Structure 1
Amino acid sequence: MVKKCFYSFLFLGLLFSCKDKEVKEVSQKVTSVKSYTYNELKPLLEKNDGKTYVVNFWATWCAPCVKELPAFEKLNQEYATKNVEVILVSLDFPKQIDKRLIPFINKNNLQSKVVLLNDVNEDVWIKAIDTTWSGALPATLIYNAKSRKFYEESFDYEKLETELQSVL
Structure 2
Amino acid sequence: MKTQYYFILLACFLLACNKQTKNTNSTGKKVETSLNITTVKSYNYNQLKPLLEKEDDQIYVVNFWATWCAPCVKELPYFERIKKEYASKNVNVLLVSLDFPKQVEKKLIPFINKKNIQSEVVLLDDINEDFWIKAIDKEWSGALPATLIYNKNKRKFYEKSFDFETLENELKTFLNP
TM-score, normalisation: structure 2: 0.82
Kindly tell me the number of residue pairs found equivalent between the two proteins.
Answer: 152
Cross-structure match for 2:51? 44
Structure 1 residue runs without a partner (length 5+): 1-14
Deviation of 1:28 (Å): 1.9
Cross-structure match for 1:109? 116
| 2:41 pairs with one of 34, 40, 49 | 34
Alignment of 1:76-91 (within 5 A): 76-91=83-98
Distance 1:28 1:132 in 2: 36
Cross-structure match for 2:7? none
Structure 2 residue runs without a partner (length 5+): 1-11, 23-32
Deviation of 1:24 (Å): 2.3
Distance 2:98 2:34 in 1: 26
Distance 1:97 1:146 in 2: 35
Identity of aligned residues (%): 68
Distance 1:22 1:51 in 2: 34
Cross-structure match for 1:10? none
Deviation of 1:49 (Å): 1.4
| 1:160 pairs with one of 157, 161, 167 | 167
TM-score, normalisation: structure 1: 0.86
Instruction: Please identify which structure carries the higher helix content.
Output: 1
The one-letter amino acid paired with 1:22 is: K
- Cα gap change, 1:162/1:123 in structure 2, threshold over 3 Å: closer, same or farther? same
The one-letter amino acid paired with 2:172 is: Q
Q: What's the CA shift string for 1:3-40, capped at 9, x where partnerless?
A: xxxxxxxxxxxx9xx95x93326882100000000000
Distance 2:19 2:49 in 1: 37
Distance 1:154 1:27 in 2: 26
Alignment of 1:8-23 (within 5 A): 22-23=19-20
| 1:125 pairs with one of 127, 132, 135 | 132
Given that residues 63 and 147 in structure 2 are in contact (C-alpha distance below 8 angstroms), is that contact kept between their aligned partners in structure 1? Answer: yes
- 2:121 equivalent to 1:93: no
Given that residues 151 and 174 in structure 2 are in contact (C-alpha distance below 8 angstroms), is that contact kept between their aligned partners in structure 1? Answer: yes
RMSD, aligned α-carbons: 2.0
